[in-house]
């Protein structure tokens, strides 16, 4: 729910502050942000015990490095996950 409130705030700020900024830049940023958020959500869901055990930012970083969605080719694993979810 909070993500939708945040998105509404960003959209209204974008329309009020920078109405002449090309819409493609905003759309690209939104899509890339959504993909990054999805990957973060999936990585936390894959190993919640590691993230809960982290007591510092370095612990969170170590936990993120050990999950599949932060592997050298995270986009490939995201595509496979989406294909499995859709089938």
Residue from 56, 80, 85, 54 nearest 68 by CA: 80
**Distances in whole angstroms, Cα of residue 54 to Cα of each of 28, 58, 59, 64:** 32, 8, 5, 10
Number of domains comprising the chain: 1
Q: What is the pLDDT of residues 8-64, one digit of tens each?
A: 877 777 777 766 667 767 777 888 888 888 877 887 888 788 888 888 888 888 887
Q: What is the pLDDT of residues 50-66, one digit of tens each?
A: 888 888 888 888 887 77
Which residues contact residue 81 at a Cβ distance below 8 angstroms, ignoring those fewer than 6 apart? Answer: 42
Whether 51 is in a domain gets the answer: yes
Radius of gyration of the chain (CA): 16
The predicted model scores a pTM of 0.50
Whether 4 is in a domain gets the answer: no
Whether 67 is in a domain gets the answer: yes
- Supply the range of the domain harboring residue 73: 26-86
Do residues 16 and 8 touch, judged by C-beta distance below 8 A?
Answer: no
């Amino acid at each position: 729910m909070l993500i939708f409130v945040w998105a509404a705030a960003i959209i209204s700020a974008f329309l009020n502050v920078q109405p002449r900024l090309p819409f493609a830049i905003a759309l690209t940023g939104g899509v890339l942000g959504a993909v990054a958020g999805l990957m973060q959500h999936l990585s936390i869901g894959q190993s919640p015990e590691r993230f809960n055990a982290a007591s510092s930012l370095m612990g969170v970083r170590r936990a993120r490095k050990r999950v599949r969605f932060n592997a050298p080719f995270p986009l490939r694993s995201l595509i496979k996950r989406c294909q499995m979810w859709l089938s």
